[in-house]
Amino acid sequence: MSWIKVCKTDDVPENSVKKFWAGGGTIPLVIARHKNGYRAMPPVCPHMEEPLDVSGVVAGCVLTCTKHLWAWNLETLELQGEAEKPLKTYDVKIEGEDVMAFISEELVYEFDDEDDMDDDDFFNS
Amino acid sequence: MPARNHSQWMAKPPLADDEWIDSRIYSDQEIFEDEQEKIFKHVWVPVCHESELPKAYDFRTTSIAGEPVIICRGPDDEVRAFLNVCPHRGMLIERRPSGSFLEGQPSGNPKRITCMFHAWQFDMKGNCVYVAREKEGYQDRFCKEQAGLRRLRCEVKFGGFVWVNLDDKPSVSLEDWAGAPFECLRKTLDEEPLEIFHYHKAVIDTNYKLWHDTNSEFYHDFMHYHNRVTGFNDAYFARNNEAFPHGHVVVGTFEVNYENYEGFESRGELSFPHLPPNQWYMIDLFPGFNFNLRGSALRCDTVTPLGPDKVMIEFRGLGLKSDTEEERITRINHHNSIWGPFGRNLHEDLIGVAGQGTTMRPGTEERRILHGRQENQTIHDENGMRHYYEEWGRWVDRSPSQPDQAYSVRQGVAAAE
């Protein structure tokens, strides 16, 4: 894929996070608008899959997931607060009134697999 | 016999020791606590049906012997049970009766069980996956790897029911516990998946054993006009109450003549796999679970004792998952017309046990409760109850007719006499 139009600049007010579907409705993403621009990223927090359009709060240049206070500077992508993993982002450019994202494939986070502990001896150990 | 004075009324009945019981076993707080501790914390309890948790991350909550329990289906399709208690500060983790963890909650993330109190989180296998500000508070002294949920023994068996045992090392496996009484319906219930179509519960001011008694004896069909009309034929009286190890009883099958009752139709057209039409089966499991199949509908009762004189009974109705819409409507009609909650029979049974509960409130004088009918173990014989109370006596170590005495001692006395 390539540069894809995601939304209008006015669709995302400053200090907010909105969810959109790109690629013909197949790729979910959020646009976060901070003090100095826009960021496009997967729609969930890399910590516990929390939907960022619900729990993400933008203040100045900082995006915070309010569930467990993982936070990132949206301008520099620096980790802040409790964050232990970086954000993955799509490149963004503004063309006129359109917010465009460069999407070659869907970005996803790896979440820990649940440990397998279903051995027969579980209740006897 | 003329009316009796107090001492005549209180005299031991002229029946064998195992043919009557002392009503204090239905009303005494200490005996109730003994039962919770010695029976319900060690037996296999059918907590729900797997079709009540059809999708990954679905859950239900319940309680066994006062212990809160949560049952959930993992992304690997396994159904697991845990104590619904947070290992941090003992908070009840999930408050809803049922639901799904797939979507996030105001206080919890998607795919996690979250304790809303301090945001500790667990996955569908009971692993603790998140302790809020773990390092700041516990440094390296305690970590989430040490904070898993208490997992409980849980099996899906006998037609897809979910069985939980609070005891990690139960005295018998679920198969050995209930395999023999389920044998008569095993092919029928395991041929294809069942699905729940009815659930209601009733909290009744009575002792749970009185409910189970009513499910175990059919002498009380004199209360059920519907049963008298549709059921009292030669085959009805030819049925046997068959006792199985561990206090269970199975009442043999017979063919019910539904068309004898005005407004009812034969149920011949809709049955369960491998069953001839209009059949009737009942499996009574110690200490209070009942499976009743009436041709086209399966009913399951489970009791949760809440006190010596209070019981919650959950009623479930099931058909086949493969039912067409029309078949399902027929099963629901058949289920509701007999059982209800407002069918022909169920409320009559509830009147019976509620009336018993009224005369056996805690503090009332003990009464002699008779179950001494002997009719070659056929349907109006009370051998099913005698079998049950023998098992009950062993589990709580009390004589049902003289509950102040140990069961083992009482057995010795009886042998000597």
- Looking at residue A102, which CATH number applies to its domain? 2.102.10.10
- The residue in chain B having the minimum alpha-carbon distance to the alpha carbon of residue A48 is B109
Question: B117 is in which domain, residue-wise?
Answer: 49-154
Query: Of B278, B283, B277, B321, nearest to B300 (Cα)?
Result: B283
Asked if the structure places residue B63 within a domain, the reply is: yes
| Pairwise CB contact (< 8 Å): A50 & B125 | no
| Pairwise CB contact (< 8 Å): B130 & A67 | no
Asked if the structure places residue B30 within a domain, the reply is: no
Asked if the structure places residue A117 within a domain, the reply is: no
Q: What is residue B6's predicted lDDT score, i.e. its pLDDT?
A: 96
Tokens, residue B167: 């005891």
User: Tokens 């990132």 label which residue?
Assistant: A72
Is B120 found in the same domain as B194? no
Q: What is residue B414's predicted lDDT score, i.e. its pLDDT?
A: 66
CB B306 within 8 A of CB B165: no
Question: What percent of chain B has a predicted confidence (pLDDT) above 90?
Answer: 78
| Pairwise CB contact (< 8 Å): A67 & B119 | yes
| Pairwise CB contact (< 8 Å): B125 & A117 | yes
- Whole-number Å distance between alpha carbons of B240 and B381: 9
Is B283 found in the same domain as B389? yes
Give the pLDDT confidence of B273-323 residue by residue, as tens digits. 998 888 889 999 999 999 999 889 999 999 999 999 999 999 999 999 999
Q: Residue B333 phi/psi, 5° resolution?
A: -60, -45
Pairing of the two strands B289-294 and B67-73? unpaired
The question of ipTM being above 0.85 is answered as no
Check CB contact of B78 with chain A, cutoff 8 Å. Answer: yes
Q: CA-CA distances (angstroms) from residue B257 to B125, B231, B307, B389?
A: 49, 6, 39, 33
Check CB contact of A122 with chain B, cutoff 8 Å. Answer: yes
Domain count, chain A: 1
- Whole-number Å distance between alpha carbons of B417 and B394: 20
| Pairwise CB contact (< 8 Å): B132 & A123 | no
Check CB contact of B105 with chain A, cutoff 8 Å. Answer: no
**Which of B74, B109, B124 is closest, CB to CB, to A50?**
B109
| Pairwise CB contact (< 8 Å): B74 & A49 | no
Is B195 found in the same domain as B134? no
Give the pLDDT confidence of B40-77 residue by residue, as tens digits. 999 999 999 999 999 999 999 999 999 999 999 999 99
A44: chain B residues, CB-CB within 8 Å = 110
Q: What is residue B43's predicted lDDT score, i.e. its pLDDT?
A: 98
Domain count, chain B: 2
CB B212 within 8 A of CB B288: yes
Statement: residue B228 has pLDDT above 70 = yes
| Pairwise CB contact (< 8 Å): A114 & B110 | no
Question: A23 is in which domain, residue-wise?
Answer: 3-106
Q: What is residue B264's predicted lDDT score, i.e. its pLDDT?
A: 73
**Mean pLDDT (chain A, rounded):** 92
**Mean pLDDT (chain B, rounded):** 93
Could you tell me the strand order of the sheet in which B121-122 lies? B113-114, B121-122, B128-130
Asked if the structure places residue B14 within a domain, the reply is: no
Asked if the structure places residue A17 within a domain, the reply is: yes
Statement: residue B90 has pLDDT above 90 = yes
Q: What is residue B224's predicted lDDT score, i.e. its pLDDT?
A: 84
Question: What percent of chain A has a predicted confidence (pLDDT) above 90?
Answer: 80
Q: What is residue A50's predicted lDDT score, i.e. its pLDDT?
A: 93
Asked if the structure places residue B257 within a domain, the reply is: yes
Chain A window 23-82: which residues touch B at a Cβ cutoff of 8 Å? 44, 48-51, 54-55, 67-68, 82
Q: Residue A49 phi/psi, 5° resolution?
A: 60, 20
pLDDT band at A113 (very low <50, low <70, confident <90, very high): low
